Chains A and B, each alone.
Chain A
């Protein structure tokens, strides 16, 4: 069911299995029939760990969403609350309790004294037979990808100075090391990275004695703050998967698409009603075709799809050549696989068509042109007329914010006059309440007034080769293909760390926010890996505050480079794109 997790360089299925085992153990602790009351936010991430069938095997008969009032009637012995440790949820739980049933709480990812205190104040703490925690920090998302699925991590860390998610990150990395061995080298860049590394080293000291005897799977851990590279998520991703996310949004590995293109055309049914429910598709490397095209530049997807179409129809043609019984039998045995491939092809052809309608539109083109102008440093110090026009037309606010922030980042801040002009335009058009959002964007550094006249972005761009004029979209030779010219800064840093090392770019590193550092973790004797010649190193890159699909694609591209020498596994607090990221930073005052 989750075989695709074990295909990668590192078998992430071990982590998933460990998580499932723990879940089963907890469920068995509550003997008898049970109903689960879900903190709605958790259902998505849990779906990556266990399907309903697993719960059902352990006598989970009903599921509800946690909300005020009483738990709906259910003829079960146990009621289990699966919740994040949030005070407001505790109040709701207190309302929910209604004897005579056994109640249990499972805190995800960690139990909280504060919440238990709250339950005590509400006078219900003793009503619980079990109060437990389910440590779910890093969730295996794909064969080379782990995510904490923590939506607001960036906001909490950089805006609210709340480092809870960093604590969970450090804990998650400790769990990972318990399963995959101590990671001997840690590199990092940024304040949060430093904080996480410090906590990890401290936790290791705290558990001195229980030495980990597993041969290390990872050679290096690289911790990167999202605010070291604020530019990349703002740019429109141009890989296939990136565009699906930009346009339709991928949540917990699923995407919902407009159904019209997916209508089954069966002969004889003719003019049947079109489906109205959005089409829900799971996207991961378990699907062979998707694994092949997800990371391609969208302009190369069409060719890949038609090639695949030819292969599949050729495979179906084979049946005419099957003469002997043995040959026919072999053909038939391959049929299910071929049919799956054909379905998959049909789905992705439909998706590609949907996306193409958008990428060929003038709006998309104009927007991309402006983005690329900013990234190459064209007129970033003036008010941009395209942005003005978009505001005049009252295009979606997030689109405007993405562009303005991008201009600010590419210009190392905007002149006060320019900044004020944009802000005024935004407030007048979209409403005064957005003053709070603008203030947030300034706080995290996405928008800022220019303090010095020196703009160091061009230096960074040139030194790190962030702009490649002749990006090859079809047969890429550089990571810049994922943004058709722009090479994501974060991935460039990763690439340079592996070869030739960060010492060569000290100057640029100093221009980027936060400290950069290197730590070593002592391995017990006998666990030092003897590398075979030609064997690749494995690096875990952790993006604190989110990562985009295009960045992942770029890292996968580096892993596959023949002389790359390093393979990457990616971990993050949350998979983001410019829109979801900006949205998480917005403040909308609730109306009275």
Chain B
């Protein structure tokens, strides 16, 4: 019993769902078995004015719905699965319902075509070219299956046919019938490439085409026309007929007295069955014209178009017979036609009730056919077809089984245990089954326990996570996410948990999952510094807390306070070195701040090294000395430091004083080198004599004293050093020196 409102229009979606469009603009969706699926509304404003007429249409974007209200306003949704309502502009001068209208899909947009009187509206005001002048009103219209053509029926009984963009007129036929037709539909004619429209009135239909003649058929009872890809279906209370242009191959073969190769082959085969020698005559006739291949092709094709199994068989047998006399005829068309027909005959059976033509089947593909069977819950047949056509398991059997399982979980009367076992038993070996999808379905039906049981079969741990979260099994979700190795998934669960649990429990959970914990730490490092601190605190990770405070000390002004906290933490972590180093840093900071105040020298943030260097550079030698002592800077480094700082200032006097202050822990070669670096050879020479014997040669060379270097090298009888000096000699060098070196080199080598 229908308990809902007044239904204005029924229609099917591309996925075989039934649409019931009600007067109040509500659209109810039912599946093939009459189960209610969902509903949506065509807009609130429909309410008072009510839906006057509605149409369901299909386009590459899915199934759409268009309505017109009593206030003559059109609303349109191109895809009901992604509902976006478009209210179309008002039609000028239109009062009440329009005489007729249709939906067009052009340039990726759905439009409504409206006729009021003799005027047509799309978006612009326009009128079809060459419409008969007698007509005063367009009373009916229809758009072709491909949205390319438009047919208009006028009150004068004229049928106008043209392109849907209204740019071109194809033909106009006078039907001599004046009352408006009940329905009109385009009928594609692939063979003759001619437009033709089927017009239906009570009791009869008329086929009109380009020529003036029309074909008329008598109709019994109330019928309805369904335009299809390759014909028009006529359905009434008891019958279902297909009006179609006879396909070329069938016509060739079955035309009376046809001499087409296919017809001859069929005849030949008939004779052959009768064991008559005429068979040979017919065959010869075809073969002489070299048309046997063509004949086989025609028979195969014609078989495809025939709906009677017997006729199909006769034609295929004839084709097979003809094939025997051909050496290199490709077998695929024949084999695949046999397969296709077997499938088609199976689905055309009245218990299944999908009366597809071969052309339609090819257009919609096996995939879609399987889907249709699945919608009808004809799982065994679907699986048989998949196996028969050797569809890859992934897209074939497994997909069907998944749908079966999704349906199975909805059987309320069976226990969770039983269903889970039944499903795992059936799906056991099937490849690529998504158990999580099945589990989702079970969960949607309110069977959480069953869903969890099913999820256990899911091999992809990542897939389990979203559903587990939805079912609030967050702990399990977390361990599955970790198992998958997908860190993004772990993050997702962690953020979920964070919002779900109180802080204490959340931290405890993380503590048991080190992977999640370290990821969360990373997250906090970038997003929530304070939480990071809490985490370290909870784990008594004093080392990290120390580091945390050190980082904080660079971010905020309260530097020393943070560093003191760092010292405490490092002490707790028993990291003596870090604690001491931090204390030193605090001392340095205090010193720097004090000096900044006293001397106005910017020092804070400098390392100890740079602080001393700056002090030396501005001549605060005492303070530098103080730091050197306080911080126990190794002598060697201090000497380097001071030397470099003074040299940069080019304070040669101070350097000399420094050199004489006590014995240099870094030797005197650096003195030589640094003077040379600052282009003061004169000063450099002062220190050459104090350089240790091992570095003498280097020192002499540094100041450019080749002779001195030679002397030093020869004195030390060092082969390597002599070579070094030699390599520095140029053609302009004193010959005697070079010879001396060479001689020394010879003796050194002998040694």
> Chain A residues in contact with chain B, CB under 8 A?
85, 87-88, 110, 112-114, 117, 160-164, 166-167, 170, 195, 198-199, 202, 205-210, 388-389, 391-394, 420, 423-425, 427-433, 435-436, 439, 587, 589-592
Known: A428-B633, A431-B607. A167 touches B486 (CB 8 A): yes
Of A117, A420, A429, A439, which is within 8 A of B609 by CB? A429
Write the chain A residue with the least CB distance to B609: A429
Of A160, A205, A392, which is within 8 A of B459 by CB? A205
Q: Of the 9-residue stretches B372-380, B487-495, B686-694, B736-744, which lies at the interface with chain A?
A: B487-495
- The answer to whether A114 touches B485, judged by C-beta atoms less than 8 angstroms apart, is no
Q: Which residues of A contact B666 (CB under 8 A)?
A: 389, 392
- The answer to whether A394 touches B609, judged by C-beta atoms less than 8 angstroms apart, is yes
State in angstroms the CA–CA spacing of A117 and B495 once bound together. Answer: 10
B640: Cβ under 8 A from any A Cβ: yes
> Chain B residues in contact with chain A, CB under 8 A?
393-394, 398, 430-432, 459-461, 483-489, 491-492, 495, 514-515, 518-519, 521-523, 526-527, 543, 547, 550-551, 553-557, 577-578, 581-582, 584-585, 588, 605-610, 631, 633-634, 636-637, 640-641, 644, 666
- The answer to whether A167 touches B609, judged by C-beta atoms less than 8 angstroms apart, is no
Known: A163-B487, A210-B394. A428 touches B631 (CB 8 A): yes
Known: A162-B519, A209-B431, A388-B637. A87 touches B526 (CB 8 A): yes
- The answer to whether A433 touches B637, judged by C-beta atoms less than 8 angstroms apart, is no
- The answer to whether A206 touches B459, judged by C-beta atoms less than 8 angstroms apart, is yes
Of A164, A167, A429, which is within 8 A of B637 by CB? A429
Write the chain B residue with the least CB distance to A112: B488
State in angstroms the CA–CA spacing of A423 and B582 once bound together. Answer: 12
Write the chain A residue with the least CB distance to B641: A392
Write the chain B residue with the least CB distance to A170: B485
Q: Which residues of B contact A202 (CB under 8 A)?
A: 461, 483-485
- The answer to whether A592 touches B554, judged by C-beta atoms less than 8 angstroms apart, is yes
State in angstroms the CA–CA spacing of A334 and B459 once bound together. Answer: 60
Instruction: Report the 4 A-B pairs with minimum CB-CB distance, sorted nearest first.
Output: A209-B431, A589-B554, A392-B640, A161-B518
Known: A162-B522, A592-B557. A167 touches B485 (CB 8 A): yes
- The answer to whether A163 touches B485, judged by C-beta atoms less than 8 angstroms apart, is yes
- The answer to whether B581 touches A427, judged by C-beta atoms less than 8 angstroms apart, is yes
Write the chain B residue with the least CB distance to A160: B522
- The answer to whether B554 touches A88, judged by C-beta atoms less than 8 angstroms apart, is no
- The answer to whether A429 touches B607, judged by C-beta atoms less than 8 angstroms apart, is yes
B666 to chain A, nearest CB (A): 8
Q: Which residues of A contact B487 (CB under 8 A)?
A: 162-164, 167
- The answer to whether B640 touches A113, judged by C-beta atoms less than 8 angstroms apart, is no
Q: Which residues of A contact B606 (CB under 8 A)?
A: 431
Known: A114-B492, A392-B640. A589 touches B515 (CB 8 A): no
Q: Which residues of A contact B633 (CB under 8 A)?
A: 428
Known: A425-B637, A439-B547. A161 touches B515 (CB 8 A): yes
State in angstroms the CA–CA spacing of A436 and B484 once bound together. Answer: 33
- The answer to whether B518 touches A87, judged by C-beta atoms less than 8 angstroms apart, is no
In the complex, 8 of the A-B residue pairs with CB atoms within 8 angstroms, ordered by the A residue number, are A164-B488, A209-B398, A423-B581, A427-B585, A428-B608, A429-B637, A430-B609, A439-B547
Write the chain B residue with the least CB distance to A449: B577
Q: Which residues of B contact A435 (CB under 8 A)?
A: 550, 578, 581-582
Q: Which residues of A contact B609 (CB under 8 A)?
A: 394, 428-430
Of A88, A113, A389, A433, which is within 8 A of B489 by CB? A113
Write the chain B residue with the least CB distance to A199: B485
State in angstroms the CA–CA spacing of A428 and B637 once bound together. Answer: 10
- The answer to whether A160 touches B550, judged by C-beta atoms less than 8 angstroms apart, is no
Write the chain A residue with the least CB distance to B518: A161
Known: A161-B515, A162-B518, A199-B485. A432 touches B585 (CB 8 A): yes
- The answer to whether A114 touches B488, judged by C-beta atoms less than 8 angstroms apart, is yes
- The answer to whether B550 touches A393, judged by C-beta atoms less than 8 angstroms apart, is no
Write the chain B residue with the least CB distance to A168: B487
A134 to chain B, nearest CB (A): 15
- The answer to whether A209 touches B432, judged by C-beta atoms less than 8 angstroms apart, is yes
Write the chain A residue with the least CB distance to B519: A162
State in angstroms the CA–CA spacing of A589 and B553 once bound together. Answer: 9
Q: Which residues of B contact A210 (CB under 8 A)?
A: 394, 431-432
- The answer to whether B554 touches A160, judged by C-beta atoms less than 8 angstroms apart, is no
State in angstroms the CA–CA spacing of A110 and B462 once bound together. Answer: 14
- The answer to whether B394 touches A209, judged by C-beta atoms less than 8 angstroms apart, is yes
State in angstroms the CA–CA spacing of A295 and B495 once bound together. Answer: 48
State in angstroms the CA–CA spacing of A205 and B394 once bound together. Answer: 15
A439 to chain B, nearest CB (A): 6
Q: Which residues of A contact B608 (CB under 8 A)?
A: 427-429
Known: A87-B527, A114-B492, A162-B519. A436 touches B555 (CB 8 A): no
Q: Which residues of A contact B584 (CB under 8 A)?
A: 427, 432
Write the chain B residue with the least CB distance to A443: B543
A576 to chain B, nearest CB (A): 21
State in angstroms the CA–CA spacing of A112 and B585 once bound together. Answer: 43
- The answer to whether A590 touches B641, judged by C-beta atoms less than 8 angstroms apart, is no
State in angstroms the CA–CA spacing of A112 and B488 once bound together. Answer: 6
Write the chain A residue with the least CB distance to B554: A589
B45 to chain A, nearest CB (A): 24
Of B398, B491, B554, B634, which is within 8 A of A114 by CB? B491
Q: Which residues of A contact B634 (CB under 8 A)?
A: 388, 425
- The answer to whether A432 touches B556, judged by C-beta atoms less than 8 angstroms apart, is no
State in angstroms the CA–CA spacing of A208 and B394 once bound together. Answer: 10
State in angstroms the CA–CA spacing of A210 and B483 once bound together. Answer: 22
B35 to chain A, nearest CB (A): 31
Known: A210-B432, A389-B636, A428-B609. 8 other contacts (CB 8 A): A113-B489, A167-B487, A202-B484, A208-B431, A389-B640, A389-B666, A391-B637, A424-B581
Q: Which residues of B contact A394 (CB under 8 A)?
A: 609
State in angstroms the CA–CA spacing of A198 and B482 once bound together. Answer: 13
B50 to chain A, nearest CB (A): 32
Q: Which residues of B contact A199 (CB under 8 A)?
A: 485
Q: Which residues of A contact B578 (CB under 8 A)?
A: 435, 439
- The answer to whether A195 touches B485, judged by C-beta atoms less than 8 angstroms apart, is yes
A492 to chain B, nearest CB (A): 30
State in angstroms the CA–CA spacing of A428 and B633 once bound together. Answer: 8
A425 to chain B, nearest CB (A): 7
Known: A167-B487, A208-B459. A113 touches B394 (CB 8 A): no
Greatest chain B CB density within 10 A among A87, A198, A202, A435 is at A435
State in angstroms the CA–CA spacing of A88 and B526 once bound together. Answer: 8
State in angstroms the CA–CA spacing of A161 and B525 once bound together. Answer: 13
Q: Which residues of B contact A429 (CB under 8 A)?
A: 607-609, 637
Q: Which residues of A contact B640 (CB under 8 A)?
A: 389, 392-393
State in angstroms the CA–CA spacing of A297 and B637 once bound together. Answer: 36
Q: Which residues of B contact A432 (CB under 8 A)?
A: 581-582, 584-585, 588, 607
State in angstroms the CA–CA spacing of A432 and B553 once bound together. Answer: 11
Q: Which residues of B contact A436 (CB under 8 A)?
A: 547, 550-551
- The answer to whether B431 touches A589, judged by C-beta atoms less than 8 angstroms apart, is no
Of A114, A160, A427, which is within 8 A of B518 by CB? A160
Known: A206-B460, A210-B432, A436-B550. A392 touches B637 (CB 8 A): yes
Q: Which residues of B contact A391 (CB under 8 A)?
A: 637
State in angstroms the CA–CA spacing of A52 and B589 once bound together. Answer: 52
- The answer to whether B522 touches A433, judged by C-beta atoms less than 8 angstroms apart, is no
Known: A163-B515, A392-B637, A428-B609. A433 touches B554 (CB 8 A): yes
Write the chain A residue with the least CB distance to B492: A113
B416 to chain A, nearest CB (A): 25
Q: Which residues of B contact A161 (CB under 8 A)?
A: 514-515, 518
State in angstroms the CA–CA spacing of A557 and B522 once bound together. Answer: 40
A9 to chain B, nearest CB (A): 30
Of A117, A389, A592, which is within 8 A of B555 by CB? A592
Known: A112-B488, A166-B485. A388 touches B551 (CB 8 A): no
Q: Which residues of B contact A114 (CB under 8 A)?
A: 488, 491-492, 495
Known: A210-B431, A394-B609, A589-B554. A420 touches B577 (CB 8 A): yes
Write the chain A residue with the least CB distance to B488: A112
Q: Which residues of B contact A433 (CB under 8 A)?
A: 550, 554
Q: Which residues of A contact B527 (CB under 8 A)?
A: 87
